[in-house]
Amino acid sequence: MPFHRSVFLRSLWQLTNTLGGYALLWTLMYFTSQISLWLTVPFAVLAGGFLVRIFIIFHDCTHNSFFRSGRANEWWGFLTGVLCFTPYHHWKWEHTIHHAHSGDLDHRGFGDVWTLTVDEYLKASAFTRFRYRINRNPIILFIIAPIVLFLFLQRVPSAKASTRAKCSVHLTTLAILGLGLVLSSIFGFGSYLVMQLLVLFVAASAGVWLFYVQHQFEGVAWERHENWDFAEAALRGSSFYRLPKILQWFSGNIGFHHLHHLSPQIPNYRLEDCHESHPMFNTVAEVTLRSSLKSFQFRLWDEQDRQLVGFGHLKIRKMQLQSILEKNLVL
């Protein structure tokens, strides 16, 4: 495909306007913090948006799609990963697994949002159901979990990871600490901490929401492994999230997630062109900013109805099971 090849000048321009904009906002935060930390808040929120865009560049580097040079992808992937508090090689390993099994009900639990089927939930212990409800609570999922994920969980390598991936976690943590010391000496430790946490919180929450909507939306298709198909999982198991142009820019076109899963080698700045290149892609279900809000209510996958449902659906399923049980007893 012609869209697979990155364009050096476009990659360079995206690096420049994204990292340059991010640096400019930190400069503005420095000067406004000399007057009042409250004046830095709008710039910190905007910097969080730029950090989402930086993460998309990092994400492309892990797919070796941002540059044609593997060394350039690795170098810039490490640098942008430090800014995003994310280790390059470790995240690349986890994300590769996600791409290989996305939408496969028999390969859940790695690089995805914890999702149980209705039957699995009903058969689970009371403690597991309690943990699951806590994990799927929107406040936990989109406010608390994102900051915990990027601040703490990304500092701990998986036992299953390779030595290289584990080393990348520790090297990234050391680089984050080094950068933090430099910026603390410029801003003051307290001011830097407040600003960095606010920037990271905005970016992490927005990023987790984007990842969630990309795979948990109305009309999503998931299959058991024997019926799972890579192309089908990409086009029907990943969303086409049509965002307003400004949000599309900040999110680095990641709303064209169906195409990204179909061909991860396409750099983010060519996804929209690829989508417009073939009528087939116009048949993919579209998720808008308004319709995506329905995803807040999704909690479980109903294999019988083949759709995501809320916890309220459990009452219906329990009544169905009770009716079947009563019929069996009569027989």
Higher pLDDT, 156 or 111: 156
Q: Is the pLDDT of residue 319 over 70?
A: no
Contacts with 293 (C-beta within 8 Å, 6 or more apart), sequence order? none
Q: Which helix (H) or strand (E) holds 134?
A: helix 126-135
- Supply the pLDDT for residue 109: 83
CB 266 within 8 A of CB 276: no
| 315 confidence band (pLDDT: 50, 70, 90) | confident
Query: For residues 259 and 63, what is the distance between their CA atoms, to the nearest angstrom?
Result: 14
Helix axes 70-83, 163-187, angle to 10 degrees: 50
Q: What is the DSSP string of 243-296?
A: --HHHHHHTTTTTBHHHHHH-TTS-GGGHHHHHHT-GGGGGSPEEETTGGGGGG
Q: Residue 240: its pLDDT value, please?
A: 95
- pLDDT at residue 326 in the model: 57
Cα Rg, the chain, nearest whole Å: 21
Q: Which helix (H) or strand (E) holds 241?
A: strand 240-242
| 260 burial level (CB within 10 Å; 0-12, 13-18, 19+) | buried
Q: By mean pLDDT, which of 112-116, 125-129, 274-278 is the weakest? A: 274-278
**C-beta separation of 168 from 82 below 8 A:** no
Tens digit of pLDDT for each residue in 255-292? 999 999 999 999 999 999 999 988 878 778 899 999 99
Average confidence (pLDDT) over 74-94: 98
Over 7-37, what HEC string results?
CHHHHHHHHHHHHHHHHHHHHHHHHHHCCCH
Q: Tell me what pLDDT residue 4 has.
A: 86
Give the model's confidence band at 328: pLDDT under 50 very low, under 70 low, under 90 confident, else very high. Answer: low
Summarize the confidence of residues 15-38 as an average pLDDT: 97
Determine what percent of the chain is predicted with pLDDT higher than 90.
88
Helix 8-33 × helix 189-215 angle, to 10°: 140
Confidence band (pLDDT; 50, 70, 90) for 325? low
Can you tell me the distance from the alpha carbon of 113 to that of 176, in angstroms, rounded to the nearest whole number? 26
The confidence band for 314, taking pLDDT boundaries of 50, 70 and 90, is confident
Residue 324 in this model has a pLDDT that exceeds 90: no
Q: What is the pLDDT of residue 219?
A: 93
Calculate mean pLDDT across residues 136-160.
96
- Are 82 and 91 contacting, i.e. CB atoms less than 8 angstroms apart? no
What are the domain boundaries of the chain?
Answer: 2-116+137-289
Distance (Å, rounded) from C-alpha 220 to C-alpha 65?
26
